Amino acid sequence: MGGGLETPGLKVRDLSVVFDGMPVLNGIDLSVAPGEVVVLLGPSGSGKSTLLRSVAGLEKPVSGEVKWGDEDLSGVPTHQRGFGLVFQDHALFGHRDVAGNVDFGLRVAGMPSAARAHRVTRSLALVGLDGFESRRVDTLSGGEAQRVALARSLAAGPRLLMLDEPLGSLDRALRERLTSDLGSLLRRIGMAALHVTHDHDEAFALADRIAVLGGGRIDRIGTPDEVWTDPGTVHAARCLGHENLVELNSAGECALGLLGVGPGTVLVRADRVLIEPFPGDGELTAEVKTSSIRGGRAVVVVDVSGVMLRAWPRNVLAVGDRVGVTLGSGAIVPLKS
Amino acid sequence: MRRIGATVAVAFPAAFLGVFFLYPIGAILFRGLGAEGLTRLIELLKKPSFWDVAWFTLWQAAASTVLTLAVALPGAHLLARRQFRGRSLLRAAATVPFVLPTVAVGGAFLALFERLGLADGPLHLTRTAGAVLIAHVFFNVAVVLRTVGSFWEGLDPRASEQARVLGASPVQAFRWVTWPQLWPAVAAASSIVFLFCFTSFGVVLILGGPTRATLETEVWRHAVFRGDLASATALAMVQLAAVVAIVMVTNRLQYRRAVVQQPVRRIAPPRASLRLLAANLGLLATVLGLPIVVLVERSLTRGRSGGGWGDWTFDHYGALASRSVLLPASALRALGNSLLFALVATGLAVLVGGLASLVVVHGRRALGRAFDLGLMLPLGASAVTLGFGMLIALDEPPVDFRSSKWLVPVAHALIGVPFVMRTVVPTLRSIDVQLREAAATLGATSVRTRREIDLPIAARALAVGAGFSFAVSLGEFGATSFLPRHPDQLTAPLALFRLLAQPGDALRGQAMALAVLLMLLTAASVLAIEGWGRRGAVRGDL
């Protein structure tokens, strides 16, 4: 950058948080550019929520800095940071109606009531809840409540929106629909967002970049394509939904043969496990162990001399079928443990 | 066999409540609503001096409540929203003042004012409303700290965090998000504190002096001091009406509070900053700790005049064993009486309260509700009204009981029963239905189930309730002050009251020594039993 004005956006540098002597976050570096959606992916207890809370100023880090552009936010209290945060269980104010929730941030900012009403209407329209102003919050369904919480955060006009597993408590179908709604909404309004989830499908659906968290560190960060094709570590591969993790012996061998990489664990990318309907057509032969349809496409697990591999065949296969298997180029990805 | 047991469980508490509470209260109403009684009541209402008393009773209770909130709410916030070393210790320690004998606390504040040079002179506190208010804060901080504190802890902290993220300053977040959720608990606690201050007796008598009279002290003065039972009856009628009104308001507020509470996923609260901790603990230590410290110091020194330090001595404690002209028996013997009465009262309270709790939890619905309400009444009705009712009702046939010394523990037991029920009923209710069903499927009979499952768990709750009623009996002063007729009935608080009423360094020292012993016994019985009971599955609070 060399001395010029830094670009705006969130910059977290070397952030560490400790609870009761236990490190929860350990030297986190992360940035979110304006208009960019970054998804933090990790299992529960990996420190995702703590990272959001630290950025919001609700937790005090032991070291590191949080900046917006070149503005250091270390001493800035939560309410002056201009960040929005949507909690998993939406934390709606039970003693106010929907409009009273959505205009809360505008009231504390001292906006006149006519302008507030206008903004509330617009925010509710954004999340598809037109006309919900006077509803009591305890009459809302889970999905509606979550959208009110989203509208409430958006109405306040944050420069960064943080979402802490906002869809985690909803059923699957609703979650998938709201995930896609959320994704298109964020892109339409060009909002910078930091989104936390443990669901890799949700992460791939929303993210410009994905950061995989493990043990208080960022294991891997990159575009969805980059992290999926090269997760880097066993932990990241599992978080991203990879299942073909194969142990190699000290000579770098397994039942698939000599794979040309050192000992340890390798990832066999499911999209590069090519299934041929006739056993003779593949380099290896295998037997179909399970067969199902997921997300509208066929998924099988094949047994290649004792190694179980998940693959996406072009056709639906039956359990017990003998098939040929070829590992396409780039199928084998070495992982650090 | 079971039927007989059930009949006893219903009949014994009902008879106990009927004879020793409803009958005396009924006697007041009977006298007060008779032709002569009503004439007296109207005469009373025409006197300006009555309105002075009524006004003072009202405003001192209101002011005490406001002051208590001011002292206790920051502490409640600390307990609910911050982590710090010694949190549970603070919670326990702050509870102790609530059960300390009123007379002993009155003595402690007298000692404090003397020590600070505020006993007389232009800035004097003794015999002023200010003294009464401070002592009321001392007693009631625990009520606010515990009820508001635990409610606040149950509120979801994310609501106020969400407000902060939306741009609200800490003050705005409290004002617009936390307070609307918290106020029902504050209102409920306030109404309880108001009731306690409205019916406060020992503290007002000792610290307020003759010019600072409340309805309670006036009932006592007319009945015991002047022997004017008709005026005392009229005053007691007013007092009863006021208490019933306050209790009705309290119940309404309690109901609202129950509606608001909701289960919450916990987030670890942040650590308390040193400044916050120091300010809070400093305030609480000053209000709650200083009087006790000075009391102990005063009981161990002699020969001070003006305010300098005296010589250290144990003489005051030694003098407790000897007879003085002021008392019909030695102070030590009074303490012995108190311990005996407390034991008997506790036994009675456990028996009546335990049986009644069974009826409330397992009995027929209407019966249970009647017991729940009826046996709680003595806690709401003032002790003075109870004592006065016993004075006029139980000294002539059909129930001539006043000459028996056992009337004292009976009165104490009435006040102890609510404490037993408040711990036992919620605990019995909380015993897992599945646990009981599991026992039944394993072939246990219903009696067996009750013995193997209910009893061990209820025993701890009974013990906690017993500890409280023991402490209450040791310090009981309001009802007791109406009853004794001979030396065997002299209790430690009565002896202490008489000692405090007299001037003189040696007597004052003796009084302080007695107050220290009384406080030690009370605090020890509550802390020991509570510490043990809390380790079990005991539910419920005061």
Distance CA B164, CA B35 (A): 65
B131-155: average pLDDT:
89
Q: Angle between the B102-115 and B290-299 helix axes, to the nearest 10 degrees?
A: 80
For A76, list phi and psi in degrees, rounded to 5.
-90, 125
Give the pLDDT of residue B533.
58
Higher pLDDT, B534 or A283: A283
Handedness of CA A190, A196, A200, A202 (dihedral sign): negative
What span, in angstroms and rounded, lies between the C-alpha atoms of A151 and A123?
5
Tokens 């009684």 locate to: B37
Q: Which one of A52, A73, A78, A96 would you mutate to disrupt binding with B, by most B Cβ within 10 Å of its Cβ? A: A78
Contacts of B158 in chain A (CB under 8 A): 87, 89, 91
Angle at A74 between CA A69 and CA A75, to 5 degrees: 120
Residue for token pair 């005026």: B231
Average pLDDT over residues B506-513: 88
The B-side interface with A (CB below 8 A) comprises 156, 158-159, 161-170, 172-173, 176-177, 180-181, 265, 268, 270
Is residue B137 domain-resident?
A: no
DSSP assigned state of B382: -
Residue with tokens 């009273």: A100
Cα B140 to Cα B137: distance, rounded to the nearest angstrom: 5
Mean pLDDT of B236-260: 74
Single-letter amino acid code for the residue at B30: F
Average pLDDT over chain B, rounded to an integer:
83
Contact assignment for B270 to A60 by CB distance below 8 Å = yes
Q: What count of residues does chain B have?
A: 542
The closest CB to that of B159, out of A56, A77, A91, belongs to A91
Helix (H, G, I), strand (E, B) or coil at B432: coil
Task: Give which of A90, A164, A94 is closest to A127, Cα–Cα.
Answer: A90
Instruction: Using CB atoms, pick whichever of A80, A93, A153 lies closest to residue B159.
Output: A93
pLDDT at residue B104 in the model: 93
Write the pLDDT tens digit of every residue in B53-101: 999 999 999 999 999 999 999 999 988 888 888 887 887 777 788 889 9
Instruction: State the pLDDT confidence band at B135, using cuts at 50, 70 and 90.
Output: very high
Burial A120-131 (b: 16+ CB within 10 A, else e): bbebbebbebee
Per-residue pLDDT, B368: 83
**Alpha-carbon span A6 to A18, nearest angstrom:** 29
User: Would B112 be classed as within a structural domain?
Assistant: no
Task: Look at residues B500, B499, B481 and name the one whose alpha carbon lies nearest to residue B490.
Answer: B481
Radius of gyration of chain A (CA): 24
Contact residues on chain A for B259, CB-CB shorter than 8 A: none
Task: Indicate the residue of B161, B166, B181 with minimum beta-carbon distance to A105.
Answer: B166
Minimum distance, in Å, between the CA of residue B165 and any CA atom of chain A: 5
Which residue in chain B has the smallest CA separation from A104? B166
For residue B25, is pLDDT > 50? yes
In the predicted model, what is the mean pLDDT of residues B105-128? 81
What does R_g of chain B's alpha carbons equal in angstroms?
24
Average pLDDT value for chain A: 89
Q: How far is A225 from chain B (nearest CA, A)?
A: 33
pLDDT in tens, A190-209: 999 999 999 999 999 999 99
Domain residues for the domain of B355 are: 1-26+313-542
Rounded to a whole number of angstroms, the distance from the CA of A245 to the nearest CA of chain B is 36
Residues whose CB falls within 8 Å of the CB of residue B262, separated by 6 or more in sequence, listed in order: B154, B156
Say what the pLDDT of residue B225 is. 84
* pLDDT tens digits, one per residue of A31-57: 999 999 999 999 988 889 999 999 999
Q: How many helices (H) and strands (E) does chain B have?
A: 25, 4
Q: In what order do the strands lie in the sheet with A264-268?
A: A245-248, A264-268, A332-334
Q: Do A77 and B169 touch (CB under 8 A)?
A: yes
With CA atoms as reference, the chain A residue closest to B175 would be A108
- What residues in A contact B172, CB-CB < 8 Å? 79, 108
How many contiguous H segments (helices) and E segments (strands) does chain A have? 9, 20
Confirm whether B185 is domain-assigned: no
Residue B33 lies in a domain: no
pLDDT of residue B264: 45
Residue B538 sits at the vertex; the CA angle it makes with B524 and B255, to the nearest 5 degrees, is 110
Distance between A57 CA and the closest CA of chain B, angstroms: 9
pLDDT the model gives residue B426 = 81
Residue A96 corresponds to which amino acid? R
* Residue B104 within any structural domain of the chain: no
**How far is Cα A48 from Cα A195, in angstroms, rounded to an integer?**
9
Asked, for residue B175, whether it belongs to a domain, the answer is no
Instruction: With respect to residue B252, please indicate whether it lies within any of the assigned structural domains.
Output: no
Do B139 and B98 meet the contact criterion of CB atoms below 8 Å apart? yes
Are A301 and A308 spatial neighbours (Cβ–Cβ below 8 Å)?
yes
Give the best-scoring range by mean pLDDT among B124-133, B423-432, B515-524: B515-524
What sign results for the dihedral spanned by CA atoms B479, B481, B482, B483?
positive
Residue B489, domain CATH: 1.10.3720.10
Structural domains of chain A ordered from first start: 10-232 (3.40.50.300), 245-334 (2.40.50.140)
Confidence of residue B217 (pLDDT cuts 50, 70, 90): very high
State the Cα–Cα distance between residues A313 and A309, nearest whole angstrom.
12
Establish, for the pair of chains A and B, how many residue pairs have beta carbons separated by less than 8 Å.
Answer: 71
Q: What is the DSSP letter of A111?
A: -
Q: Are the C-beta atoms of residues B488 and B462 closer than 8 Å to each other?
A: no
In chain B, % of residues over pLDDT 70: 88
> Who has greater pLDDT, B432 or A26?
A26
Instruction: For residue A265, list its beta bridge partners.
Output: A247
Mutate to test the interface with A, among B161, B166, B266 (most CBs of A within 10 A): B166
Q: Is the pLDDT of residue B458 over 90?
A: no
CB contact under 8 A, A85 and B265: no
Q: Is residue B262 in a domain?
A: no
Confidence of residue A315 (pLDDT cuts 50, 70, 90): confident
pLDDT for residue B537:
43
Rounded to whole angstroms, the Cα distance separating A152 from A155 reads 5
Q: CB neighbours of A256 closer than 8 A, spacing ≥ 6?
A: A246, A268, A284, A304, A305, A307, A327
Nearest to B137 by CA among B210, B63, B243: B63
- Cβ count near A295 (within 10 Å): 7
pLDDT tens digits for A112-144? 999 999 999 999 999 999 999 999 988 999 889
Residue B221 pLDDT > 60: yes
Of B156, B166, B177, the CB nearest to A152: B166
What is the pLDDT averaged over residues A301-320? 90
The residue of chain A with its CA nearest to that of B84 is: A20
Dihedral of CA A52/A58/A62/A65: which sign?
positive
- The strand pairing partners of B271, in sequence order, are B83
Suggest the residue from A44, A54, A58 to mutate for an interface test with chain B (most B CBs closer than 10 A).
A58
Number of independent structural domains in chain B: 1
pLDDT tens for residues B264-290?
Answer: 444 566 777 778 888 888 888 888 889
Q: Does A91 touch chain B (CB under 8 A)?
A: yes
The number of beta carbons lying within 10 Å of the beta carbon of residue A278 is 10
Pairing of the two strands A273-276 and A322-327? antiparallel
| Pairwise CB contact (< 8 Å): A156 & B180 | no
Q: What is the mean pLDDT of residues B424-428?
A: 83
Largest CA distance in chain A: 76
